Amino acid sequence: MSLIFDEYGRPYIILQEQEKKTRVKGLDAIRSNIAAARTLSRTLTTSLGPKGMDKMLQSQDGDVTVTNDGATILKEMDVENKVAKLMVELAQSQDDEIGDGTTGVVVLAGALLEQALILLDRGIHPTKISEGFDKACEVCLERLEQISQKIEFNENSYEDLVKAAMTTLSSKVVNRYSRQLAEICIKAIFSVADFERKDVNLDLIKVEAKVGGTLEDSVLVNGIVLDKDVSHPQMPKVVENAKICILTCPFEPPKPKTKHKLDIDSVEKYRDLQKAEQEYFRDMVQRVKDSGANVVLCQWGFDDEANHLLYQNGLLAVRWVGGVEIELVAMATHGRIIPRFSEISEKKLGKAGKVREVSLGTTHDHVIFIEDCANSKAVTIFLRGGSKMAVDEAKRSVHDALCQVRNLIRDQRIVYGGGSSEIACSLAVSEFADKVSGVEQYAIRCFADALDAIPTALADNSGLSSLDTLGALKAAQLKEKNPRLGVDCLGLGSWDMKEQNVYETLLSKKQQIQLATQLVKMILKIDDVIGPTDALT
């Protein structure tokens, strides 16, 4: 695109390959952008809440994903429209920062854009709409601070944390086992948490999954789980007081880096070559043995000769261990990663209470458990499931629950779910709008209407009348001055979310409203779009 001036000094734009491009300006551009973003938002609305529907997505490779996680759905969708991609990035940023609430943030952004379109049709300028939304967002954040409650917990008493994690898991496929998985997640977080700094390093929690069994068979392993088996079937299956040699060099003879040619024209020469190779392997295995190691983990493969020698020396060996697992084992066992056999020494060995190979079912699958590591701040959540889809969804659900608990370690304040906090914020924003003069009050009122989209979607997905439910809840919150009243999605007969134990973190809810508002302001500021014809349709 080039800006040119004619002989009178008037500017005009020259586009490269003009016949293949389309330009949309002004309100038409804003409406086009809003329509693209709302299409994605409507797709996710039916997945919100404990009664939300799942989506089945098939990749180009034929892999099938079944999930109701907002970030995963949008990531798997092949989105081409540039503005619609902003919604994908919105869900991803919520997932990266908070880990939960990805569906809610997209639904809220879609509702805000819908209300913005109504204001644009009334002739209100996009800048005024953005300013009004900004003020309403500040009111929401203040109201959330007011209605939040602080929960107390420690390593022996963490029932409130269990309730918060169960709230996250209740909308997933794994909701039948939500209590068991919630407790596993909390114990994992407590194992690695730094309570003084109020921080949790999730890299120290490995989530490993294996198809087979049921979700009830899932366990928390105080150590590392490797999806490998021992390299020789007759090697020891259990090693107590393990001293682990962690290698990133292969058990193979050295290979010259230059081009070479070796002619063997007699039996004696061949035997000499074989003997030299055997000596080389014996030297490598002897170095490992002399260091005091009784377990060998190698990032590369073993030659058959080396594998046999390791077995003869009574060592438990595992080959082809991934780079990420090698680093995690080194952190967990306080071992050093050894790049050359000449550097093997006792000081560099990792230590663990027990290393054992575990057989799974009748499928001849094996995994390696490295338990009671020197660094107790490294654990593995080992998940089982009847199918690959179930196991993958369980991993996503556990990730969300881990993030929820981590957020409560950082900030112990919670708000109540079921749309109760959105209704409380909506009422506060409507009351604030009465005090604002000028055009901005229309934008503030529309922001309040957009907040109602969350409880409305929850009611619709639960088979309730959204209008009747929302009206009754607003009236009840105003009358009783109780911000805990929300949608009874599970039909338990109570609107009080405290009684139903529906907890959400304050961090997550504030982040949702802030991110959705920022995205809407960004889309409203785009008034000129130039691009390929296909991309704008």
Q: What positions carry a catalytic annotation?
A: 69, 102-103, 400
| Tokens 């969300």, located at residue | 400
Strand 379-385 and strand 205-211: pairing?
parallel
Q: Which helix (H) or strand (E) holds 461?
A: helix 453-461
Q: Got the DSSP string for 350-394? A: EEEEEEEEEEETTTTEEEEEEEEESSSS-EEEEEEESSHHHHHHH
CA atoms within 13 A on the CB side of 80: 7
- CB of 102 closer than 8 Å to CB of 95: yes
- CB of 107 closer than 8 Å to CB of 45: yes
377 beta partners: none
11 beta partners: 5
Mapped onto helix, strand or coil, the DSSP state of residue 443 is helix
Range 498-536 burial, b when 16+ CB lie within 10 A, else e: bebbbbbbbbbbbbbbebbbbbbbebbebeebeeeeeeb
Mapped onto helix, strand or coil, the DSSP state of residue 315 is coil
State which amino acid sits at residue 223. G
